[in-house]
Structures are given as structure tokens and as C-alpha cells.
Amino acid sequence: MVTVQDGKATQMRGNPDNPYTRGALCVKVNRYLEHAGADDRILYPLRRVGPKGSGRFERITWDEALDEISTRLTAIIDEHGGEAIWPYQGTGTLGYLQGEAGEAGRRLWNALGASRHDLNICSRAGNYGLLWTNGTPGGMDPENLALSRLILLWGTNPLTSGHHLWKFVQDAQKNGAYVVAIDPIRTRSAERADEHLPIRPGTDGALALGLLNVVLSEGAEDRDYLENHTLGWDEFREEILKYPPSRVAEITGLPEESIHNLGRRLAHTRPTAIRAAQGIQRHEGGGAALRTLSCIPGVTGDWRHPGGGIAYSTSGHMPLTVDTRPDLLARPVRKLTMTRLADGLENTAEPVKCLWVYGANPLGSSPDQVRIRRAMAREDLFTVVMEQFPTDTTDYADIVLPATMQIEHMDLHAGYGHMYLLWNEPAVEPPGECLSTTETFRRLARHLGLTEPSLYDSDLELAEQLLSGGHPFLEGVTLDRLRKEGWVRLNIGDPFTPFADGFPTPSGRLEFVSARAVAAGLPRIPVFVPSMTARTAAPAGYPLTLITPASHNFLNTIFGNNPELLRRAKGPRVLLNAEDAAARGLTDGQRVRVFNPTGEFMADVEVSDKVRPGVAATTKGHWAKLTPGGANANAVVGERDADMGRGPVYHDNFVQVAAL
């Protein structure tokens, strides 16, 4: 809720009537109005006047910017074809109109024959893991955690990266629920849990199999549910039997007794809820880990019960689709993968000649920062960035276009962690000459002389199209209602038990055995696939496993330039166990370099028992140009893929830490 006086936003607060947020804002969004009015906000189109990377620009008009862009794009298409254009889109604020979910601008890119952008950076490996088992990444309603008796926070820290969920965890605790945090780091959430299991990074799949092994030894599998609602149980059961707690203890680094105890608790506590988020799947075995975790409610029968199941992302339940008009493509085009930006820009056989970045800050957020910086410095690469602030990425742009923020544009938001659709009405006029994503593309289409009518659909027309799919979950959800009420819960019932009677799989059952997985070159059943750092002996000189979880003060790199949040973040820090710090002669607060053959970044050591020996942890989100040495943690993250969906491997890297 935004209070406006004399055309200016003066106050923003959460709506206490919203059943999910209950009126609360996170520490980041609490400073949103301050952020929107910051002195370094980009308000006008800019043209580069210095070397790439210098951040030196001059102000130009919109007509000058769009004329230059149109001329350059036309020349690129004439000489190299449309596929030489890479529309590099990030998730932004996850709006279906202005952000990633509706593929903003895709109709225009199709009309130009541009390459297809594979937006794989967030949750791809886990999405596939859940898809092979449940038929959808969507799972239980997170609000139903309040009904749970056992909650496993598996590789997630909601008090930092999704604090609205914590209210429902607290509600469950008040009713006697037992909360276990399974995480290599003793996070804020782990400290508030009843138990913390400091698992070795990248071994979650083995723990899942070990817990199910105990469930079987207790004779607590739900045989009726297995018989009537699952496929391939006998085959998967044989895999579970290979993972007794003694073996799992060796793999995970957890005490055998802890595995036994949690397994017995899982066996005899209904309903049990598993909350897993993106971090758990950002390694080479991440998809398999989520595939295995998603089997647990099928074995225990928790899908029968409100408050039981697994919650990963609710986006799989959001039936919003927009026609991106693939028919506008004259021929099929290549797909370029978001987390392989350096590879794509270094391809000389099929070169990228235009990189168009929006809703993203790849120099701050994507793997292999050193190679990306080198590739973006190419003088023959025409780079356009639509942005709100002068980020690491805008420094390498040829043209910068000023973008609106959420209080200044219209958008339709769907649940990333809840079951509501939300309408975002602009509260104030955009400052300066900032334009929304949709309006920018409408104006560019006019400058290019394109006549396809759908390129000029208004935001309201696009929103109507999104809601017109006819899915039962959208029954009673109209744009008029959304604009009047602000948010509407999907038509799913309350409580929502999505798989009590079946699954959206080919068999209609939870598939322990998946023909689709086999067709994708994966095992028939869920198996433990360790991360690289859990599978491979550490290379000489790089003995530590680095993981890079979310910051409490930044949203990826959003807010990374906010002075107060920067002050609270206290600069880049790397957590080391006292044993690892002593072995390197390091003391608390000492400036160090964290490095491997891919790159390096600077940080201050925090000696802490929050991490186990052999693990180094630092938060993502720091802007490279605002940190010592001009690099952040992604300088040491390689462009490698997870086991499913080409997901990234931010938590699967060997490093060394040494004093400067």
C-alpha cells in the first residue's frame, strides 16, 4: 500500500488484510521508496562516450536512442540474421507483464527472428526433478505449513529469503510442530528451529534416501497410498534399501544417530511438510536431489493430509499464459542459455552482435564473471541495457534506457511462494523519462516500422489475455476484480491438497519410475547424484567448498547500491570454521582473497561455528564495482551445468582462502 501526496509517494506499508503477508514488509522492501528516489537513479536515455566498462555516458533523447538502436539492429539483421540478437531477460520482480513470467518483449523478438533466451538461472534443475515425479513443480500451499506437525526446512532460510512463510512455521510451532533445518549453514532460520542438521553440501539426496530407509525399517510406509497413487514403488524401494543410516552418515557428515532419530520422527508424524527452495538444487546433482525429496510424501502418504507434502515453488499452479506469437518467426531459432553468457558471447562461429539486457544484471549475478566482463568489452558487441541504476552491467552498455520501478507501472503478479494473483496499479508517474518494459518495446516496434498489431497490445489487453485461459483455478478471477480487490486467491479450495487423489503425470500417479526421465537420458528412478564437491576429491590447493546463499539485505543484486543496506551488510564476508581459519593463520575480520582457477574476490573473514569444517560461505548480491578488488563471489563460479535443465552450480565450487 502506497500513500501518495501531491503526486509523490510518501509512505509504503504492507496491507494487514493480506492473508499471506499480514501487513509485513522485509528489511529490503522497507526501503523501497527511498530506493526509488535515490540520487543515482537513471532517469534519461544514455549513450556511451567512454571505453566499455568506464561507465561514462551522455544524455540523449528517446528518439535519438531508438533511432540509433533501430539502425544498429537493422544492420545486424541484414548482415548476420536475427539470431545475432540475444534478448537477455532476467526475472526482475516476477511480474507477468513487465518481468520474466510473461516473457515480456518476446513477440517483438520473434518478429525480428532473434535468438531464444533460456531463462534457467533460478530454479530449473529442481523444477525438472519435481516434474519427473509429480508432473509439476507446484506442490502444497505454503500457508498449510501452519497445519503441519513436522516441518523440514531443507536448504532454505525463510527468515532471510521469504520471511512471510515464517509466520506459518511459527503457527505450527505454537501448535506443537517440530521444525528441523537441514542446511550446511546455521542460518537465522536454523537458529530458530528445534533442530539443525549441518549437512555436507550436495549430499541432500543421500539423506532423503536414508530417512526413507528408516521409514521402511519402522514399517511406516503408507501402503494404501503407494498401491493406489504411485508408480514403480518396488523398484524405488530397492534403491532406498541401499542407503542405511550408517552409509548416509559417511556421505552427509551427519551423526548416524541424528539420521535415525529424524527418520523415526518422519515415520510417525503426520502431516509432515518439506520446504525446499532454490539453493538446494544449485549443484551438479541438484535436480536429482529435488526428485528424491519429492518422493518422500509419496512414501509416507503425506499428500493425503492438509499440511503434508513438499513446497518448492507455487508457480507450477499458476495457469497464466500469454501468446508470444511463435508464428512470427520465419524459421526456428537457436536457444542461448542465461547462465552460459560467456560461452555465448565467445562463440565466433555464430556470433552474438547485439546483447539486449533487461530485468537482469549478469555482470553481478551470472557465473564466470571474469569471462563475461572480457566478452562484454568487445567493441563489435552492441549492448543495450534497460535499467533503473548504474549497475556493473550498464557500465558496458552502448545505450542505457531508463526503466520504471514497481510503484510506477502496471503489472500482474503471480505467486512465487503463495497461491494468490496480485494486481499492481501504478501509484505515481515515472520520474524523468523512465518507461516500462512494455512501453519501451511498443516504441521500438514503431521505430522499426513493424506493423504486426499484437506488438502494440496495451498492458490491460495483455493482462486480459493472461487471465483468459479458462483453467478451473482461474474461475471467478477477472481483471476487474483484481483491480478492485488487489489480490485474489486461486480457485483451489482451502485447504489445498493437490495430490490427495492423483497427479498431473502421464500415469496419473506419483512416478517413482519415470518414462519421461528416461527419455531425457536420466535414471528410471530417483538416485543420489552428489555435487562435484561431494563427489570429487578437492584439487590440490583448493580444499574448501564455497556456497553463496542469499543476503539478508539484498535481493540478488537489487538494493546492492542502497547506502543503508550496504552499511548493514558490512561488505563481503566469508564464513570459515575456526579449524579452517587456524590452518591458514587467519583471524576474525582479516581481509582475504577467495580464489580458484576461474577467478578471485576479496572479503573479510568471519570465523564462525555456523559452518562446518571444509565449507566456506559468502552471500551473493554485492555489486562487483562496489567491492574491494572489483569482483564478487561469481568470479569463482564456473559456467557448468546441473544434472537437469542446465541449471547453474553456484554452490558447487572448490576454492582456497588466503590472506592478502
- Pairwise CA distance, residues 419 & 20, whole Å: 9
- pLDDT of amino acid 101: 65
- Pairwise CA distance, residues 426 & 413, whole Å: 13
CA 277 to chain centre: 8
SS3 track for 53-106: CCCCEEECCHHHHHHHHHHHHHHHHHHHCHHHEEEEECCCCCECCCCCCCCCCH
Does residue 514 form part of some domain? Answer: no
Does residue 318 form part of some domain? Answer: no
Does residue 618 form part of some domain? Answer: yes
One-letter amino acid of 243: Y
The answer to whether 529 and 206 are in contact (CB under 8 A) is: no
Query: Do 147 and 274 fall within a single domain?
Result: yes
Does residue 400 form part of some domain? Answer: yes
Residues 6 or more apart whose CB falls under 8 angstroms from that of 23 comprise 13, 14, 15, 16, 17
Please give the mean pLDDT across all residues of the chain: 96
- pLDDT of amino acid 102: 63
How many domains would you assign to the chain?
4
DSSP H helical segments within 81-203, as ranges?
106-112, 124-134, 158-161, 164-174, 188-192
Of 279, 312, 345, which marks where a domain is finished? 312
Q: pLDDT-based confidence at 1, cuts 50/70/90?
A: confident
Query: Do 227 and 288 fall within a single domain?
Result: yes
Give the mean pLDDT of 195-223. 98
CATH code at 655?
A: 2.40.40.20
- Residue 213's H or E segment, with its range, is helix 204-217
CATH code at 21?
A: 2.20.25.90
Least confident segment among 99-108, 175-184, 567-576: 99-108
Query: Do 82 and 155 fall within a single domain?
Result: no
Q: pLDDT-based confidence at 199, cuts 50/70/90?
A: very high
Q: What is the pLDDT of residues 53-91, one digit of tens each?
A: 999 999 999 999 999 999 999 999 999 999 999 999 998
Higher pLDDT: 425 or 417? It is: 425
- pLDDT of amino acid 416: 75
**Angle between helix 204-217 and 233-240 (nearest 10):** 100
Q: Which residue has the cell 551423526?
A: 255
Query: Do 80 and 2 fall within a single domain?
Result: no
Does residue 63 form part of some domain? Answer: yes
- Pairwise CA distance, residues 561 & 38, whole Å: 10
CA 17 to chain centre: 27
Give the mean pLDDT of 570-593. 97
Does residue 327 form part of some domain? Answer: no
Query: Do 167 and 32 fall within a single domain?
Result: no
Q: What is the pLDDT of residues 266-321, one digit of tens each?
A: 999 999 999 999 999 999 999 999 999 999 999 999 999 999 999 999 988 999 98
Does residue 194 form part of some domain? Answer: yes
Give the mean pLDDT of 478-488. 96
- pLDDT of amino acid 659: 97
Does residue 178 form part of some domain? Answer: yes
Of 312, 347, 378, which marks where a domain is finished? 312
DSSP H helical segments within 277-376, as ranges?
286-293, 296-300, 341-346, 362-365, 369-376
Residues 6 or more apart whose CB falls under 8 angstroms from that of 432 comprise 41, 43, 44, 402
Residues 6 or more apart whose CB falls under 8 angstroms from that of 646 comprise 118, 120, 124, 337, 339, 340
Least confident segment among 320-324, 459-463, 564-568, 620-624: 320-324
Query: Do 357 and 278 fall within a single domain?
Result: no
Query: Do 144 and 249 fall within a single domain?
Result: yes
For residue 271, whether the previous peptide bond is cis, meaning omega lies within 30 degrees of 0, is: yes
Q: What is the pTM of this model?
A: 0.97
Cell of 575: 564464513
Query: Do 265 and 137 fall within a single domain?
Result: yes
Query: Do 259 and 142 fall within a single domain?
Result: yes
Please give the residue range of the domain that contains residue 294: 125-312
Query: Do 353 and 237 fall within a single domain?
Result: no
Q: pLDDT-based confidence at 417, cuts 50/70/90?
A: confident
In the chain, DSSP finds a helix count (H) and a strand count (E) of: 24, 26
Concatenating the DSSP letter of every residue in 303-327 gives GGSTT-EEES-GGGG--------GG
Q: What is the pLDDT of residues 537-567, one digit of tens each?
A: 999 999 999 999 999 999 999 999 999 999 9
CATH code at 454?
A: 3.40.50.740
- pLDDT of amino acid 572: 96
The answer to whether 352 and 381 are in contact (CB under 8 A) is: yes
Of 489, 504, 523, which marks where a domain is finished? 489
* % of the chain at pLDDT higher than 90: 94
Query: Do 591 and 626 fall within a single domain?
Result: yes
The answer to whether 247 and 213 are in contact (CB under 8 A) is: no
Query: Do 118 and 129 fall within a single domain?
Result: no
